[in-house]
Amino acid sequence: MKILIATGNPHKLQELRHILPAKSKCGVPLEYVSLADFRDLHLPPETGTSLEENAATKALYAARQTGLPAVSDDTGLEVEALNGAPGVHTARYAGENADTDENNRKLLSALEGKLLPERAARFRTIACFATPQGEVCLFEGILEGFIGFGYRGSNGFGYDPIFLVEKGKKALAELTETQKNKISHRGKAFKKLANQLLSVPAK
């Protein structure tokens, strides 16, 4: 059984292939393909009002266009002091064409003067499994933490250098990839999705 991982990001593809099962409990082999196998397929833009909507839109579109079950995800950073912002706008917090540094600096500026307990935040990932027939299953993964006071560490990407875990002792960018994957919000969401794939029945 082929399943489309609806991403063009080779790092995410590799990560998910390690998480998702090679076969179901009934012994059905599961083969994972990516957008690289469908050069003419372009996912719709993330214009939804929620992570759930964005993840479902991408997975459903990919499934219907290819005729394969598809998985996709969307992730948001939610800061309590900012009423859950940047949330669904996480990737473009500082503007449509903003880069990672601009997003990070805007967030640090928005929290200027606040102490660590006032900087509580969480990463939330919604993973979606969709079929060409329109079936949709959503799975949530959450990583709690705090927004730091500046950049720390050289690993990771995005908000990792300013997102603190372990009760504020370390930034995600200070963890190894293995350490990060053990607590990752994306990992948690896709491990739940993996359980769904394990239940694929034998034909």
Q: In degrees rounded to 5, what are phi and psi of residue 102?
A: -65, -40
Nearest to 200 by CA among 31, 15, 12: 31
Task: Output the tens digit of pLDDT for each of the chain's 203 residues.
Answer: 899 999 887 777 888 888 899 988 888 899 999 998 998 999 998 889 999 999 999 999 999 999 999 999 999 999 999 999 999 999 999 998 899 999 999 999 999 999 999 999 999 999 999 999 999 999 999 999 999 999 999 987 899 999 999 999 999 999 998 898 889 999 899 999 998 888 877 55
Task: Give catalytic status of residue 74 as yes or no.
Answer: yes
How crowded is the C-beta side of 125, counted as CA atoms within 13 Å? 18
- The span from the CA of 10 to the CA of 34, in Å, is 9
- The span from the CA of 179 to the CA of 133, in Å, is 38
pTM strictly above 0.95: no
Catalytic residue among 37, 40, 73, 74: 74
- The span from the CA of 137 to the CA of 189, in Å, is 11
CATH domain 2-198 topology:
Maf protein (3.90.950)
Instruction: Give the domain ranges of the chain.
Output: 2-198
